[in-house]
Copies of this chain bind each other. A is one copy, B any other.
C-alpha cells in the first residue's frame, strides 16, 4: 500500500492506494497553519499501518536538493506561516518509511505521464493554471530537475496591447502567473470567476498569455504532449482559444503534433496529482531498496 499527499496552498489531499495506483481512500483537508494541517495529515495516515512509502507533491517553491541543509523545506512562499517550514522531516520521523518529495505540479505530471494522457510518451509537459501557474515535465520517465525544480509559471510574456492589468506576481511585472492565473480573472473583472461571461475579452487575454508561454515551452522542450490542468482550465471554452492563439504564433514555423493531440486536459482529471503521488511513493520505495 502506498500513501500520497497533494499539498496545495488552499487544500491538502491525502490518499492511500494499491500498487496498481488505484485510490483506496482519500481525504481533503483545508490548508491552515503548518502544524494544525500536519496534525490532520497524521490523523489520516495513522489509520493505515500498511503504507510502505509516501509520495509528497507540495506547493512551492520547495528545496529538492538532496545535499542541501534545507532539503524537504518549503521556501519563500507568499504564505508567511509556511515559509522555511520543514515539511519532510516530521513525516519521515513519524512513519519511518521512504518519503518521495517534489512539487505539486510534478506529481500531477508524473500521474499523467505514467497513467494518463502522456502514457508511453518520453517527453510529457503538465501545466496547471489555478491559484498559481506552474509546470512540470517528465523526461524519459523521470521528473525534470536540475539545480532546483522548474518555475514555469514565472516565464516572461509580452503584455497584450489591450490589457491594462497590472501583474499580481509580487516578483514580476510581466510573468505568466502574474497575468494569467485564476485570481487575475477575479481582479480584472471584480467578480467571481464563475460569473465571467464566455465572450468576455478577459478570456482572450488569458489565452494570449498561455499561448505565448506554450509556444516558448514548445521551443525549449519539444514535448510530445502538453496537458493543461488546474481550475482555470475547467472553463471549457478556454482551450479552443488557446489553440487558436498558438497557431497564430507558430505560423507554420515548425510542424507540431496535431493540435487536438498536443494540447489536452488531464485524462486523470482531478486525480492526476494524487495518483502521481502514489507513483512517486513506489519510485521512492524502489530507490531505497538496495
Contacts and interface: CB of A to CB of B under 8 A. Distances in A.
A215 B156 contact: yes
A53 to B, nearest CB: 22
Given A139-B144, A150-B220, 20 more contacts: A122-B145, A122-B146, A123-B145, A123-B146, A139-B139, A139-B142, A146-B222, A147-B223, A147-B262, A148-B222, A148-B255, A151-B218, A154-B219, A155-B215, A155-B219, A156-B215, A156-B249, A171-B253, A172-B253, A220-B220
Contacts of A102: none
A183 interface: no
A171 B155 CA distance: 22
A24 interface: no
Interface string A246-262: 00010101111100001
Contacts of A146: 121-123, 221-224
A256 B151 CA distance: 12
B220 A147 contact: no
16 contacts: A122-B146, A139-B142, A146-B224, A147-B222, A147-B262, A148-B254, A150-B221, A151-B219, A151-B222, A151-B254, A155-B215, A156-B158, A171-B251, A172-B253, A216-B220, A220-B220
CB-based closest 9 A-B pairs: A123-B146, A146-B222, A171-B253, A146-B223, A155-B219, A151-B219, A155-B216, A220-B220, A146-B224
A152 interface: yes
Interface string A132-176: 000100011010111111111111101000000000000110100
A156 B220 contact: no
Interface string A196-231: 000000000000000010011111111110000000
Interface residues of A, number: 44
A61 interface: yes
A142 B123 CA distance: 12
A8 to B, nearest CB: 20
Contacts of A152: 219-220
B216 A254 contact: no
A222 B257 contact: no
Contacts of A148: 222, 254-255
Contacts of A171: 251, 253
Contacts of A257: 147
A143 to B, nearest CB: 10
Interface string A110-146: 0000000000011100000000000100011010111
Given A140-B139, A140-B140, A144-B139, A61 B219 contact: no
